[in-house]
Structure 1
Amino acid sequence: MKIFGLTGWSGSGKTSLMVRLIPALTGRGLRVSTVKHAHKGFDIDHPGKDSHNHRVAGATEVVVSSPRRWALMHELRDGEPELTLEQLIGKVAPVDLLLIEGFKRDRHEKIEVWRADVDKPLIAPDDPTIVAVASDGPVPGCPVPVLDLNDEEAVAALIVKRCGLG
């Protein structure tokens, strides 16, 4: 399984690019899965649902299954640490390409999504794992190739090439 990431500051457009990039990659016949880091707490469950009630009652893991999908929710309890990216990858079923959103400090190859109007510094000059930058305009002082943020086909082509999936 090949692993490649999108990173950048909050508000830069990582998720928007990811949502356009997945069909560009699956359209090439690749099986793609994703891992996304959320800095704040999140919940895919809702109060009043049976699965939520199971978690609130103290279950460590709850599996919800239907004819269309299944989900496993694991509650971190009693100060359990957040899983590392490596641990999360180990929980994903093998596919051709696992796209990672966020996890900017991890050492996999990635594209930085950067917009001048977000008013944050470019990460690429200090991070050798960033192999390109996707931006909506010029990127002053960029040490790696710059791709058009709105051209998901060009971004997909770079990922396919870097991962040897062509």
Structure 2
Amino acid sequence: MTTLYDRFATALIVVDVQVGVVAGAFNRDVVIGNISTLVAKAREAGVPVVWVQHSDEEMVKDGDAWQLAPGLERRESEPLVHKQYGDSFEGTDLEQVLAGAGVGALVVAGAETDACIRSTIHGAFTRGYDVTLVGDAHTMNDRSAWGAPTADLSIANVNLYWQFQSAPGRTAAVSTVEDVFSKNS
């Protein structure tokens, strides 16, 4: 259970599912469909949805590549966190947004698995949050041409190792879109 004092709520964090990030991502349409379903389930369950969008020299804020991928729509009432680093907490107001909502547990989905997703789940965990990664709701581009494993293997590896993370007073888990936010989970 979270090490954050008096923070019992859960939030869904959707990281960097932007046109310029996922244009060529592995299993893109299925993952975006899964994230859309996940967002709907969170809203239905009364779980806050927090959107994170990356910007840099190549992905200019408010530009075409910066926009959310088609199939996803942020509600005006849902926080939008702007980031420039891999970890969604670094140099952003994410911690303040979560603290204000009493959030101590995160459900994480988005892109890219081997960069911003990994950075964010580790960053959250070290900051005291319980962190559930939605195993069928994150993706990445293939980097095997540069010696990395293929995208499917990288995703499977992150899903495998995250379920075995441990630290005092915190939990790490991997769930599926079907099981997260269900009354039986």
Q: Do they fold alike, i.e. is TM over 0.5?
A: no
Q: Which has the higher contact order (CA 8 A, sep 6+)?
A: 1
Work out which of the two has the higher radius of gyration on C-alpha atoms and give 1 or 2: 1
**TM-score, normalised on structure 2?**
0.39
**TM-score, normalised on structure 1?**
0.42
Higher helix residue share: 2
